[in-house]
Chains A and B, each alone.
Chain A
Amino acid sequence: MQIKVDRELCTGCQTCVASCPYDAIVMSEDKALINEYCQLCRACLSACPEGAIKEYGATTASQAADLSAYKGVLVFAEQRDGHAAHVAFELISAGRRLADTLSVSLAAALFGASDTEAEELIKWGADKVYLCDDSSLTRFNDEPYSELLSKIIADHKPEIVLAGATAVGRSFFPRVAARLHAGLTADCTSLEIEEGTRNLLAIRPAFGGNIMATIVCPDTRPQMATVRPKVMKTGAYEQTRKGEIIKIERPAKPSRTKVIDVVKEDSNFNISLQDAEVIVSGGRGLAEAKGFAMLGELAELLGGTLGASRAAVDEGWIQYGHQVGQTGKTVCPKIYIACGISGAVQHMVGMQSSDIIIAINKNPEAPIFNIANYGIVGDLYEIIPLAIKKIKGERGI
């Protein structure tokens, strides 16, 4: 395949030149020319206002015949200390929707947990659970996880396989995809089915969250994706829902890597960012580390936890564990209060699906106000202490 400029249509406007992430478009005789640096990323295709940039010789679905052998949706259900993690329920909800659209069944894979947990997955919407209840798998280890999941996929041939974009999912899914020569899309924020082709449309942020990209795997199966925790909402929980639990053996091959110890680290706040219903978050506008003490007090009064922008973490005002955004955590609380956060795109991709966003910032032009439901243009060092005082006053503290 090649991407070329139709010199008849090109008006020499240079819009494409700026759009190319690889500096592969140059001007030649007042027309755009794509040189050998082109990585075929297609960013320029949609950039050209004249439609002068075209793909030539696109690959045909050579293996199209094989694709129909793959059917169903499989979700990797992560567990922590033997209990299904919240992200597993989110994935089941997302997987259920895809399976229903495709009129296929939804299966889950669960390693290192018990039948009771497998039944939970069914109540959340899975039709089948492939369960390996060997307790050695309760601690995450890449090799046995890759081994088991690869075998399940090879045996049952699902067309779509999903995992959470967690430390676990993002570590071992690439191994599985490599082994199966499957396409894997990382860190998706939205999943759709393309009408007509049954292809999975995996939508994800790229370039630090500055752009969104839709990724497809037209010629291969299964189509794999990791999905950001907290982006998909959980579905309905049905106490009476029935399904099938299929036990599988632990892998025969011994693992080369050994997990010697597991250490849980407590942050100052016990509530994890991703489970919090209220997040009070601070950015560069706090101007100093002390500001977080104040935000922390408010967060505590609201029963929430502390978040931070990358700028605040980079300044060393607060630990990385609190960072929200592209390179931090994605959160979806009921209320997100952004204090002194200007709203860099990379921060907003991590919190924009919050139910209600309240922004406090001195600068009325701050981009955060574009996504905030409520914008307060003012000095956070006036408003926050006042709010703390009033809340305490009402509670008689």
Chain B
Amino acid sequence: MKIIVCIKQVPDTAEVRINPQTNTLIRDGVPSIINPYDTHAIEAALAIKDVHGADVTVLTMGPPQAEAALREAVAMGADDAVLLTDRAFAGSDTWATAFTLAAAIKFLGCDIALCGKQAIDGDTAQVGPAIAEFMDIPHISYISKIEAVSADAITVCRLMDEGYDVVQAPLPVLLTVVKELNRPRMASLKGKMRAKKIEIRKLTSLDLSLDKNNLGLEGSPTQVKNIFAPEIKKDRIVIGGTAEEQTDELISILKAVKCL
């Protein structure tokens, strides 16, 4: 069985702050990490490999420094790593990103493609399903449990707003995973040693014979028009006094809005 896991290197958004004076992101000292949801996708692939045997390839699209994310995935246990890198990919929105990743996955071939449900920098959750559409394979989003895997089908639980669905799909299939699915393993010593040495395969738009009109900024229907800081309300009333007085005031507010 061949599994491809799409990962993304992202700034750790939990560490990102915004400078309210300049409206800009403060990224000093913010580390680059593998998108946390993607680590669960890697774990899912490795867990399938542990039980059924599989060849696990991690794939990312990004600038050369994204290699670090791939090496981290190899340290966790991925067999192979592929970096899609090309100036022509710069400025890709989710459409162009999915288009490019789908072409690479078709080129590499796979039975199961795995993605994290979304990336924490963009939070779109669009790339996974769009890849499946470009590959003309089914996809199942937000999987929280893998019930069964066979040579030609998979059964999973899909997290919904009010519970979950049990969904079955034939292979090849694309799955996007949520954190509840598993706990990602830690990188092993042998994995880290292998990760240091492994040669990362690089693919460009030429290798995939892609039409430039569908790539990067050219192929992206959406554009970022501007970026600004979230608005903050200012009209606040501070309730002081003793805990007793504060509680009375709280209750009278609740009464005023007919909550009590």
Contacts and interface: CB of A to CB of B under 8 A. Distances in A.
B149 to A, nearest CB: 15
A26 interface: no
B243 A46 contact: no
Contact of A215 (B142, B216, B224, B251): B224
A184 B63 CA distance: 24
A321 B229 CA distance: 28
B27 interface: yes
Interface in A342-390: 345-346, 348-349, 352, 355-356, 358, 369-379, 382-383, 386-387, 390
* Candidate in A170, A219, A352 with the most chain B CB atoms within 10 angstroms: A170
A212 B23 CA distance: 10
A142 B138 contact: yes
A370 B166 CA distance: 43
Interface stretch (B51-59, B76-84, B104-112, B231-239): B231-239
Given A42-B227, A218-B223, A376 B23 contact: no
Contact of B163 (A177, A219, A265): A265
A376 B129 contact: no
A15 B127 CA distance: 31
Interface stretch (B8-16, B38-46, B198-206): B8-16
Contacts of B166: 259-263
B237 A143 contact: no
Contacts of B207: none
Contact of A167 (B128, B160, B225, B235): B160
A186 B126 contact: yes
B236 A375 contact: yes
B247 A390 contact: yes
B27 A18 contact: yes
Interface stretch (A94-102, A200-208, A282-290): A200-208
Name B's interface SS.
Answer: mixed
B25 A19 contact: yes
Contact of B233 (A24, A209, A352): A352
Interface stretch (A31-39, A124-132, A152-160): A31-39
Contacts of A356: 253, 257
Contacts of A257: 138-140, 167-169, 173
A259 B165 contact: yes
Contacts, number: 318
User: Which of the four size classes fits the interface of chain B?
Assistant: 35 or more
B208 to A, nearest CB: 17
Contacts of A327: 120, 123
A187 interface: yes
A215 B222 contact: yes
A248 B121 CA distance: 39
B1 interface: no
A207 B247 contact: no
Interface residues of A, number: 112
A40 B130 contact: no
Interface string B225-260: 111111011111111100110111111011001011
B101 to A, nearest CB: 11
B40 to A, nearest CB: 13
Interface string B95-132: 10011000000000000000000001111111111101
B133 A217 contact: no
B13 A178 contact: no
A111 to B, nearest CB: 16
* Candidate in B92, B132, B166, B225 with the most chain A CB atoms within 10 angstroms: B225
A382 B25 CA distance: 38
Nearest to A334: B257
Interface in A18-65: 18-24, 36-43, 45-47, 49, 59
Given A215-B225, A358-B253, A208 B155 contact: no
A292 interface: no
A210 B18 contact: yes
Interface of B: 11, 13-14, 16-19, 22-28, 63-65, 87, 90-95, 98-99, 120-130, 132-134, 137-142, 155, 158-170, 173, 179-180, 216-218, 220-230, 232-240, 243-244, 246-251, 253-254, 257, 259-260
> Which 7 pairs across A and B sit closest by C-beta, in order of nearness?
A183-B221, A40-B91, A208-B13, A19-B24, A186-B124, A178-B133, A183-B222
